[in-house]
Amino acid sequence: MYTFDFLDAKHGDCFLVRWGTSDERVMLVDGGPGGVYRASLRGRLQQLGTPGGDAPPHLDVVCLSHVDDDHADGLVRLFRDMRQAQQDGDALPYAVDALWFNSVEELVDKRAPGLSASVKPLLERAATDAAVAASYQQGRDIRNAAGALHLDGNAPFGGPLTEGAEATLGDLDVTVVAPDEAALEELEERWRKAKQRGDPDVITAAYSDSSVPNLSSIVLLLRHEDRTALLTGDARGDHILTGLRDLGLLDDSEPLHVDLLKLPHHGSDRNVEAGFFEQVRADHYVVSADGIRHHHPNEDTLRWLVESRAPDDEYVIHLTNHIPFAEEELTRLSEGRAFDVDVREPAEQALVVTIGDRP
Ligand SMILES: [Zn+2]
């Protein structure tokens, strides 16, 4: 079994990866923005517990792709519930083994040890900006909760999850594709510039123009029994391609084929170009978005995806929510083409994609 449950994460990401034959193992990736924990995630996790049993739902690992509200809020709340129970002396609501997560500071320090500490006063001044403050606070909340709950950290990778780091979780092979070296370099440059100028606005700008989420997002390639999924967070397409090339997973001879591709950054047209889809192909393309707060997925992104494939190629484009403008564009694109569209109905708890049956 190799199954993905994409929850209604509104404009963010929140999904489970389940695999294994006798013992089901579970990874939770991201927690969605405010409201998602209570509306979707908590209920879905409760179903993982053994019916009638005392054992709480078990998660082998929780992975936060990057610290940004639309990915982090639900995890802050999940860990807050666990901490509350711990402080009250109650049974913990979930059994979580490990947390995989990079703080921006760790990523900056990976290339330039000590740089993040010297920029910290600027970062704190930049935190008068709401986006910076939220991200900074959420990162700290999650790190503190993980410490208090004695969760295992990034140890299987020997440090931050960056390009080339690998781990195995039962019979799931995990390869980190990004942050790639170029992304870490760009992040370091931003922090150096802030330090040289002594200007917190350099940090604020790095958050508000989306470069921090784009550059720090963890991209995972998961392989279970020869089936692969590429989970891209909010990374930028060029960094994903660079990471794949650096790791020898992609060359000029042919595109990389994966069974499932979660589109980067909710299908934004700012994170990918047409060439991205020429180089990464999938049987299942998943867009986690609701089209309300942001115009995601963008029509251009969908067109680039579809035009990268032959008309008689069979594949499925999955949407976690009904999004009228995206569905209209897909209907238009589907003329004379063989792909299918699958949309989670509002009453369904999750968009479930099982890899194994080729479409
Ligand atoms: Zn996002």
Q: Is residue 106 domain-resident?
A: yes
Report the share of the chain in percent with pLDDT over 90.
86
How many structural domains comprise the chain? 1
Query: 157 versus 209: which is more confidently predicted?
Result: 157
Quickly state the pLDDT bin for 295 (edges 50, 70, 90): very high
- Give residue 234 CA to ligand 1 midpoint distance, Å: 5
Q: Is residue 185 domain-resident?
A: yes
Q: Is residue 227 domain-resident?
A: yes
Provide the token pair at 347. Answer: 């009453």
Domain holding 102, by residue range, is 2-354
- Give residue 47 CA to ligand 1 midpoint distance, Å: 26
Q: Is residue 144 domain-resident?
A: yes
Provide the token pair at 118. Answer: 């010297």
Phi-psi map region of 159: left, alpha, beta (phi>0 left; psi -120 to 50 alpha): left
Quickly state the pLDDT bin for 129 (edges 50, 70, 90): confident
- Give residue 181 CA to ligand 1 midpoint distance, Å: 21
- Give residue 307 CA to ligand 1 midpoint distance, Å: 25
Quickly state the pLDDT bin for 338 (edges 50, 70, 90): very high
pLDDT in tens, 185-241: 999 999 999 999 999 999 999 988 888 888 999 999 999 999 999 999 999 999 999
- Give residue 281 CA to ligand 1 midpoint distance, Å: 21
Q: Is residue 359 domain-resident?
A: no
Q: Is residue 89 domain-resident?
A: yes
CB 228 within 8 Å of CB 263: no
Quickly state the pLDDT bin for 93 (edges 50, 70, 90): very high
CATH number, position 260: 3.60.15.10
- Give residue 72 CA to ligand 1 midpoint distance, Å: 9
pLDDT in tens, 262-285: 999 999 999 999 999 999 999 999
- Give residue 275 CA to ligand 1 midpoint distance, Å: 21
Backbone φ, ψ for residue 75 (5° rounding):
-75, -35
Q: Is residue 258 domain-resident?
A: yes
pLDDT for residue 358: 46
Which residue bears the tokens 């209604």?
A: 8
- Give residue 13 CA to ligand 1 midpoint distance, Å: 6
- Give residue 12 CA to ligand 1 midpoint distance, Å: 5
- Give residue 211 CA to ligand 1 midpoint distance, Å: 12
